[in-house]
A and B are shown apart, each in its own frame.
Chain A
Amino acid sequence: MTRINLTVDGSKVSDDVEPRMLLVQYLREKLGKTGTVIGCDTSNCGACTVHLDGTSVKSCNVLAVQADGSEVTTIEGLAQDGELHQVQKSFRECHGLQCGFCTPGMIMQSVDLLKENPHPTEQEIRVGLEGNLCRCTGYHNIVKSVQHAAAQGGAQ
């Protein structure tokens, strides 16, 4: 077992974990943060995307021990004081989801994308989300949601 100390969604946590434990497993099984989902488990689909020290990563492709000393934000930590993040609001407003399984990862990657590029073109949004797959193929409204969020100043 290896001791890790990190901050998850604003709370400091400390645990002894097996080195082979994946970050997504740690979030879901140890911390109960099941908002972050496991989609493909092969680092393709991006459903498990979280922010590690401020940038998006696929949490099925990071060991929990690698996150030692870091700050992790999951979909559950995006809303502030009970108010949804603008990107969450926009996905709801524009119906940027069908079955909803890819949504946590889509939103986390969209937040990262808007932070890097607050006013992306449609093409830049599609390229920015290339690591996130929607099995329902509902990309049209996902792109619209990101455009909506950008127009509302969603980079914050």
Chain B
Amino acid sequence: MIPAPFDYLAPTTVEEALAALGQHGDDAKILAGGQSLLPVLRMRLNAPEVVIDLGKIHSLRGIRDDGDALVIGAMTQHSVVEHDPLVAEHATLISKAVEHLADHQIRHRGTFGGALAHADPAGDLGAPALALEAQFVIAGPAGTRTVAADDFFVDLFETAIGEDEILTEIRVPKHTGWGATYEKFVRVAHQWPIVAVAATVRVEGGTIAEARIGLTNMGSTPLRARAVEAALVGQPATEDAVRAAAAHAAEGTNPPSDLNGEAAYRAHLATVLVRRAVLSAAGTT
């Protein structure tokens, strides 16, 4: 399978890329690592006239420490994020999620920002980004703006990034010392999760002081399980307490029904995976 013909641009700066986007507008598509876009183009689900490849913009790659936050360049490959010691220490939840994203070959090529901008509700990075309250830095013709994770995911494959804008970096507030687990339920290796749960908690003397939980594939966007978070605070990190809080996992969700499972099955799965993820993140299991 071969994509429909397109013109190819490979700018070397964000400014050049924005200019190209401004010129071609609707007819253009941004190419990051291509691990989601190329299958789409090959299956002819989309046929842009122009593809703007960000691969040669070196300033979009890399991870840096910026005081209270880590800054992950949008074009940083998953495999780099996976092995980065800063991410492992300050945003453990992201390390845990990336480790299980797709497979080795795809992690070598796919990018952190590309996957988030693609906004597949079954993608593995949205839930951790929500749980860690990441900030999305978006460049456009009028300059840059920052969008909170809660406002970034708009709908199925739709984000707050405008048609003339590019996601340049993701700022992740440090969660140093927080326990973290990404529980992903799949039937076979290298598959999108049927449901997954990103949980990170701060435990003080056996009590859950703070909890943040993101849900993957429980609606048209990644979602926060706020009812569970509220129910966990002040509770002991025990099986019974966590089980009771996890019962709220599907509240406010709208899970899909497909060949892998009905919505009700996913709702049940969410409660089980939230319990496992929180217990593991709290170090109870």
* Chain A residues in the interface with B (C-beta under 8 A): 2, 18-22, 25, 41-44, 46, 49, 52, 55-58, 61-63, 65-66, 68, 109, 112-113, 127-128, 130-132
Given A2-B8, A43-B35; A20-B103 close (CB under 8 Å): no
Q: How many A-B residue pairs have CB under 8 A?
A: 83
The 4 lowest CB-CB distance pairs between A and B, nearest first, are A131-B103, A19-B8, A130-B189, A55-B108
A41 to chain B, nearest CB (A): 5
Interface SS of chain A: mixed
Q: Which of A18, A128, A131 contacts B5 (CB 8 A)?
A: A18
- Docked complex Cα distance between A137 and B6 (Å): 38
- Docked complex Cα distance between A46 and B106 (Å): 10
Asked if B102 is at the interface (CB within 8 A of a chain A CB), the reply is yes
* Chain B residues in the interface with A (C-beta under 8 A): 1-8, 10, 31, 34-35, 38-39, 41-42, 51, 53, 55, 79, 102-106, 108-109, 189-190
Given A42-B39, A61-B38; A131-B79 close (CB under 8 Å): no
Q: Which of B6, B39, B55, B104 contacts A19 (CB 8 A)?
A: B6
Q: List 14 A-B contacts (CB under 8 A).
A: A20-B3, A20-B6, A22-B42, A41-B42, A43-B38, A43-B106, A44-B190, A46-B105, A49-B105, A52-B109, A56-B105, A57-B109, A68-B10, A131-B190
Given A2-B8, A63-B38, A66-B53; A57-B1 close (CB under 8 Å): no
